Structure formats: C-alpha cells, structure tokens
C-alpha cells in the first residue's frame, strides 16, 4: 500500500473549491449592490430593495442552518423559524428600549428637576407597554438596557431552548415525523404565548420601529440599510465557511451517517443523541443570529412571524434548492423568497382567463406548494442538482435498496451502469 | 483463559412469542465460536441482546474483566466498551467513500467535540490503508461504498469492525452472498481476528463453519440445543432432527 492512494491534506480552500466560489460570488454581489445603491453608489437600487436583499441574505443563513440539521443530519425540524424569531425579539428589545429611552430623556429634560431613574424607567415602560395596557417592565426586559447582554441573548435564548427541547426529544429517541410534529408544536406554543398581551413582548403588536438605530437618527436609512446588508453578507459568508468546515471533516461523516442509518452509528460507538443535540443547538444559534440581522431590516417583529407555517416554508426552500449541499440551501432560500416577494408584492401580472382571473397574490402559495411536490417527486436534488450536470458529480443513490444476499451480485451490475 | 462474556438465563418475548428462552452462553477471551441454528432460532436476537438493541425480559449479561452488566448500558456505550457487530444485511454508509467509512470506524474518542476537531494523523491514514489492504479494497478507497459489490460491502463492514478494535466481535452471516473464493478469504480474516479477540460467528453454511474449525453452539427455539465440536454436534440426534435433517 503506497501513500499515494491516501487523501492528501490540502488546504481547506483547495479541498472545497465550492466554498471559494461561493465566497467570491457573495463578495461580488455585495460590492455590486453597494455600487448600485442609493447610500453609497449611483442610486439605481432603492433603499427598500436593499433591505429586501439584506433580508434575503439572512434567510439564506437560516436556510444553511436548516440544511445542516435536515439535509446533513436528517432531523426534519419544523421549528427553526422559532429560533430565528427569538433572535429577532432579543435584538428588538434593546432597539426599542434604547430608542424609547432617548425620547423619554428628551421629554423629561424640560422638567425643572432632573428625572430620577425610576421616573425614566416608568416613562420608558409606559411608552413601550401602553399598547397592551401596562406601564411596568416585565421581568424578561431586565437586560433590555444593555446591548451586550441582549446580543448575548440572541445566541443564548435560542441555543438554550434548542438544548432543552433537543435533550428531551432525542433522549427519548423521538425521530422522523414525530419529531417534526413536536417541533411544530414548539413553535406554535411559542407563537401563541407571544400573542398574549401579558407575555411581556407586547402581544400581537410585537416590537416595532426596529429599523431606527438608537442615537443615530441623523443617519439616513439609505446608509443604515447598507450597514445591515453588509453585516448580513458577512454573517452569511462566515456561516457558510463554518458549515462547510463542519460537514467536511469526520463530524460531517458522522452526521451524514446518522441521517442514513442512525442505529448503525450507535453500534460504531458514537453517542448519536449527543451529536444530534450539538447540531440542533448550533443551528438554532445560527438561526437566532440570522433573525437578529433580519428584523432590524424588516422594522417590525410580531408573533405571526414564528407561526408554524414559517418553519414549513423554510423546509420548502431547502428542498427546492437541494438539501444535503450548502449552496443548494442558499439558492433555494434566495430564489424562492425573492420570487415570493415578486408574486405577493403584486408585481406579477395577473392572468385573465375570462371566467376567472388568476391573481398571483392568492395563487402564489398554490404554485409554491405544487413546485414543492414536483421537486420532491421528480427532482429530489432540487435546483442545486443542476450544478451536478456541470460537474458531473455522481452519487449512488440507492438508500434502502435491499436486494437480498442472493441477488447481491445484481448490485454490482447496478453500480456499474 | 478467562471468560469475556457470560450470558445467563436470558429470555425475550415479542408479543408473547418467546424468541429467546432461558439462554445461557459463555465465551472466553480470544476464542472463536460458531453459532448455528435454523431460521428463526433466535441467533440475530441473541446478538441484539448483547449489543443493547433489545432489552431482555430476564437474565444477565456480564462482560469484561470488571464483570460489568451490559443490560444497563446504551448501544454506543457497549460498542465503546469493545463489542463490535456486523449485521446480517451489510450496512455500510453507501453515500460515503470506503476511506470515510473506515475512518469513522477507527478506534478514537467518540464524543462530538473530539470528533469535530479530529484530524487524521499519518498513523491513522496508515491504519486505514492497512485495513483496506486486509479486506482487499485498497484499490477502492475513494469509491463510494454504495458502488461496491455485495461481497465487497460485507468485507468493508468487517474492515470497519476490525478498525473499531473490539474485544468481542459478533458477526452475523458474514459469507452470505459471497463467491466460494470470497468465503475462503472471509474465514481467513475471521480466524486471524480471533487470535487477538473473541469472535462469535453466526452462519448457516456448514462448509464455512467447518473451515472455521472451532467450537460450535447450536441454537433452537431460543435456547442452546448442543455445544461442542462440529463433529460432536452433528452427531447429536436432536440437532439432526431440528436442523440438519430438514
Ligand atoms: N422485533 C421483533 N418483533 C417481533 N418478532 C421478532 C422480532 N425480532 C425477531 N423476532 C422473531 O424472533 C424469532 C427469532 O428471530 P431471529 O432474527 O433472531 O432469528 P435468526 O436465528 O437470526 O434467523 P435467520 O437465520 O433467519 O437470520 C423469529 O421468529 C422472529 O420472527
Ligand atoms: Mg438472523
């Protein structure tokens, strides 16, 4: 046996050219958009479209997380948008608090006596919670005054929820469709809870005005939108490299093995539950970060954002893009969410059939549903599968092909086809 | 030679059907043992119990120098304690290369963090290369294992077992679907493996068992019918009746 047959340890970038290609495209895209923007460039792209693009990058990031947990590890979580929303709420609390604090301080500045901290706090609370008929801070706002603490909450809250949920679910070996249902129940319960006025997060009003950065009122939105766009692009790039690193090594081997035959992995001695928990929690954290970048661009977050359907859409994006490959998730999220914006934004021309007019605002979901079914049935590799046509990547996709031992030789013929 | 594994008085029933009935079995360190028995005798279930896949209704399974009970341990803990298993149907990870399959099986720390930061050393790469040579897959290291023939998959799985460096190896019908030449190679691998560890082989094929040239345990309806050399058990009236005389 010569060493020649062994894989050479090349630098990461060379072993995974797709990562470099992705980063190059992302960088070009970011520079291009900046040049065409209103804030820093020639003003071809409107600020609201910059925000749409920035939000799309965040959706790509959460789709990466979804691909890691579902496409690579085989856990069909239908609750990851809950983590995304929690990240948004965590940063939204600080944005709202800090901005309201400035307003309250300004209005109290005119008073003859300097305001006491209690007066300031009461003033902020009345401003924020007036809509839900309260004027006191709920306990979960204890850290809202501190940016570092709320930033920590962006990763800790989704991470902790995923850790506890995952620990309970994986420990009792809940898998497959039962796990999917459980995750749906989790996101439904969370959204119902947040809908209540006494949840402490302003019920169905949600948190708003998030596009305004506290103390930076003089900076135009055209500029702020680009800051967030850049931050989103950076986060997506880093997230992509992280995910690529995770799936490239032995860890990636093990989680793909768990996806394909979890029982067998146990007999190799790997603690399957621990691996699932790590992936579930890590992807929840990534989702939280994506959400924290998304909602300041959206400007508002409310409990409807974490309704069960949101997480189902996420799975649909990844399926359409092609699960089990990172760029597939990115393509799926970008493509479907942009097309969806186009259709639901009323830009798509309606089709007049004489007796009935197909209005895309209503029919888009039907079209999306049909595409999902079509992709699942006829093109399980998704849009990303098209890349295989270029690179001629072949995979022996014969999972569960259980030809008995006697016909074993058949498999060889099959493989040589 | 000291006892490595002791199974005593174990019973399992599935929906009232007793698949294993008061079974007792012992194997010493570095012993090679063949287990034979008609279809449905409970051979696979017996392995399921040892490896923690099935929990018995009663009985004890004691393993190792420290005489630990395997019944309270999870599948992965049992595997880490040194029990390796090859399944009846070859189960390799078809989507991954032969190299990745072997590297995954190589004896290393199994925790998620250790795995995340794992980098194969030159020595690890050599071990994998040597194993591939032993199982005749040197030329196929970078092929997806799904492309291998049935017999090659069986070998890959045996290779993965050897990579785990288990103290007790349980092999369920390793020669199924192999050509005569492949079978011979498989017997050699198993006999070689039994020089450094205990090996239990379940097999239907008498010729294969004869070549293994070891003590034989006959299972029938979930309990041991006879035990001894192959010649000894094949002379046993009951064995002839239930198994050989079919
Ligand atoms: N999970 C299960 N649920 C119900 N019955 C089972 C289960 N596993 C095994 N059995 C039954 O237990 C009996 C023993 O099965 P086992 O697979 O251990 O036999 P075997 O000796 O390995 O047979 P073969 O030679 O066909 O592999 C069979 O009758 C089988 O149907
Ligand atoms: Mg069997």
Report the range of poorest mean pLDDT among A75-89, A400-414, B132-146.
A400-414
Closest approach atom of ligand 1 to CA B37: 21
Domain range list for chain B: 31-52+83-244
- Give the closest residue to A372 by CA, choosing from A308, A301, A321: A321
A96-138 pLDDT per residue, tens: 999 999 999 988 888 888 888 888 899 999 999 988 888 889 9
CATH entry 3.40.50.720 includes domain B31-52+83-244: no
Q: Determine the distance separating the centroid of ligand 2 and the alpha carbon of B19, expressed in angstroms.
A: 12
Closest-CA residue of A relative to B82 is A269
Name the residue facing B76 among A3, A256, A269 (closest C-beta).
A269
What is the distance in angstroms between the Cα of A266 and the nearest Cα belonging to chain B? 5
Query: Which residue has the least CA distance to atom 5 on ligand 1?
Result: B14
CB contact under 8 A, B149 and A253: no
Measure the CA–CA gap between A25 and A334, rounded to whole angstroms. 13
- Tens of each residue's pLDDT in chain B, 246 residues: 688 999 999 999 999 899 999 999 999 999 999 999 888 889 999 999 999 999 999 999 999 888 899 999 999 999 999 999 998 888 899 999 999 999 999 999 999 999 999 999 999 999 999 999 989 899 999 999 999 988 889 889 999 999 999 999 999 988 887 888 888 888 999 999 999 999 999 988 888 899 999 999 999 999 999 999 988 988 888 888 876 555
Please say whether the beta carbons of B233 and B239 come within 8 A.
yes
CB proximity B118 to A under 8 Å = yes
Q: Please tell me which of the candidates A250, A264, A395 has its beta carbon nearest to residue B95.
A: A395
Q: Helix H segments across A261-391? A: 262-267, 272-298, 308-321, 326-344, 360-378, 385-391
Which residues touch A31 (CB under 8 Å, ≥6 apart)? none
Which residue has its alpha carbon closest to ligand 1 atom 9? Answer: B45
A173 touches chain B (CB under 8 A): no
| Distance, CA of A98 to CA of A103 (rounded, Å) | 9
pLDDT beyond 60 at A166: yes
Rounded to the nearest 10 degrees, the angle between the axes of helix A272-298 and helix A80-109 is 40
Q: Would you say B243 and B220 are in contact if contact means Cβ atoms under 8 Å apart?
A: yes
Q: Which residues of B touch A396 (CB under 8 A)?
A: 94-95, 144, 146-147
Closest-CA residue, ligand 1 atom 30, reads B40
Query: What is the C-alpha end-to-end distance of chain B, expressed in Å?
Result: 36
Q: Is B40 in the pocket of ligand 1 (CB under 6 A)?
A: yes
Enclosing H/E stretch for A415: helix A408-416
CA of B41 to the centre of ligand 1 (A): 7
Asked whether the predicted pLDDT for residue A408 surpasses 60, the reply is no
- Rounded to the nearest angstrom, the minimum Cα separation between B237 and chain A is 31
- Centre of ligand 2 to C-alpha B61, Å, is 20
For helices B150-163 and B98-105, what crossing angle results, to 10°? 30
Is residue A398's pLDDT more than 70?
no
Give the B window 13-32 contacts with A, CB below 8 Å. Answer: none
Across A148-162, A350-364, B147-161, B205-219, which has the greatest mean pLDDT? A148-162
For chain A, give the percent of residues with pLDDT over 70.
90
Q: Which residues of A touch B120 (CB under 8 A)?
A: 250
pLDDT attached to residue A7: 55
The rounded distance, in Å, linking the Cα atoms of A199 and A196 is 5
User: What's the confidence (pLDDT) of residue B78?
Assistant: 95
Task: Test A253 with B130 for CB contact under 8 angstroms.
Answer: no
For residues A237-261, average pLDDT: 95
A228's tokens: 């967030």
pLDDT in tens, A251-287: 999 999 999 999 999 999 999 999 999 999 999 999 9
pLDDT of A386: 85
- Strand A207-208 and strand A300-301: the pairing is antiparallel
Is the pLDDT confidence value at A394 over 60? no
Poorest-pLDDT segment among A30-39, A381-390, B137-146: A381-390
């Amino acid at each position: 046996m010569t060493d020649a047959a062994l894989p050479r340890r090349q630098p990461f970038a060379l072993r995974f050219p797709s990562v470099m290609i992705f980063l190059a495209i992302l960088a070009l895209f970011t520079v291009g958009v900046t040049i065409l923007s209103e804030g820093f460039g020639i003003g071809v792209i409107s600020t609201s479209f910059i925000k749409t693009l920035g939000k799309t990058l965040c959706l790509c990031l959460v789709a990466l997380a979804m691909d890691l947990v579902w496409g690579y590890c085989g856990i069909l979580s239908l609750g990851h948008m809950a983590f995304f929303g929690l990240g948004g709420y965590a940063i939204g609390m600080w944005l709202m608090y800090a901005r309201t604090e400035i307003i309250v301080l300004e209005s109290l500045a005119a008073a003859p006596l300097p305001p006491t901290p209690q007066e300031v706090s009461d003033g902020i609370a009345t401003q924020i919670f007036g809509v839900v008929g309260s004027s006191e801070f709920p306990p979960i706002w204890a850290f809202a005054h501190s940016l570092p603490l709320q930033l920590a909450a962006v990763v800790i809250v989704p991470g902790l929820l995923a850790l506890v949920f995952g620990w309970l679910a994986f420990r009792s070996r809940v898998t497959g469709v039962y796990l999917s249902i459980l995750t749906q129940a989790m996101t439904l319960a969370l959204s119902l809870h947040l809908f209540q006025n006494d949840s402490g997060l302003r019920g169905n009003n949600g948190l708003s005005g998030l596009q305004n950065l506290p103390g930076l009122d003089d900076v135009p939105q055209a500029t702020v939108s680009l800051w967030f766009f850049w931050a989103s692009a950076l986060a997506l790039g880093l997230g992509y490299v992280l995910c690529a690193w995770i799936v490239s090594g032995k860890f990636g081997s093990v989680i793909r093995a768990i996806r394909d035959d979890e029982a067998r992995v146990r007999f190799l001695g790997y603690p399957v539950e621990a691996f699932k928990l790590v992936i579930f929690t890590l992807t929840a954290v990534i989702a939280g970060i994506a959400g924290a970048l998304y909602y300041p661009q959206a400007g508002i977050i409310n409990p409807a954002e974490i309704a069960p359907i949101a997480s189902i859409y996420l799975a649909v994006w990844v399926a359409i893009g092609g699960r089990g490959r990172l760029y597939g998730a990115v393509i799926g999220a970008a493509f479907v969410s942009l097309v969806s914006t186009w259709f639901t934004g009323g830009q798509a021309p309606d089709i007049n059939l004489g007796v009935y007019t197909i209005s895309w605002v209503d029919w888009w979901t039907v079209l999306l549903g049909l595409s999902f079914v079509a992709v699942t049935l006829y093109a399980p590799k998704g849009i990303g599968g098209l890349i295989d046509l270029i690179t001629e990547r072949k995979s022996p996709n014969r999972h569960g092909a259980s030809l008995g031992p006697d016909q074993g030789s058949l498999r060889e013929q099959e493989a040589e086809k | 030679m000291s006892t490595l594994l002791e199974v005593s008085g174990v019973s399992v029933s599935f929906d009232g059907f007793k698949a294993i009935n008061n079974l007792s079995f012992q194997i010493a360190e570095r012993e090679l043992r063949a287990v034979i028995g008609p279809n449905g005798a409970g051979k696979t279930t017996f392995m399921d119990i040892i490896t923690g896949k099935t929990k018995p209704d009663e009985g004890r399974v004691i393993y190792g120098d420290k005489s630990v009970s395997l019944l309270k341990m999870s599948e992965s803990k049992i595997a880490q304690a040194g029990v390796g298993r090859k399944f009846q149907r070859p189960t390799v990870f078809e989507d991954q290369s032969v190299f990745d399959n072997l590297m995954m099986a190589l004896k290393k720390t199994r925790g998620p963090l250790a795995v995340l930061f794992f980098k194969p050393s030159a020595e690890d790469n050599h071990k994998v290369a040597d194993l591939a040579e032993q199982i005749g897959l040197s030329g196929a290291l970078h092929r997806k294992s799904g492309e291998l023939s049935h017999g090659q998959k069986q070998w890959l799985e045996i290779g993965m077992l050897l990579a785990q460096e288990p103290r007790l190896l349980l092999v369920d019908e390793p020669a199924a679907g192999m050509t005569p030449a492949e079978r011979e190679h498989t017997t050699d691998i198993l006999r070689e493996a039994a020089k450094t560890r205990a090996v239990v082989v379940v097999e239907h094929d008498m010729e294969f068992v004869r070549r293994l040239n070891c003590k034989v345990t006959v299972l029938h309806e979930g309990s041991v019918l006879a035990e001894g050399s192959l010649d000894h058990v094949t002379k046993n009236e009951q064995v002839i009746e239930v198994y050989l005389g079919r």
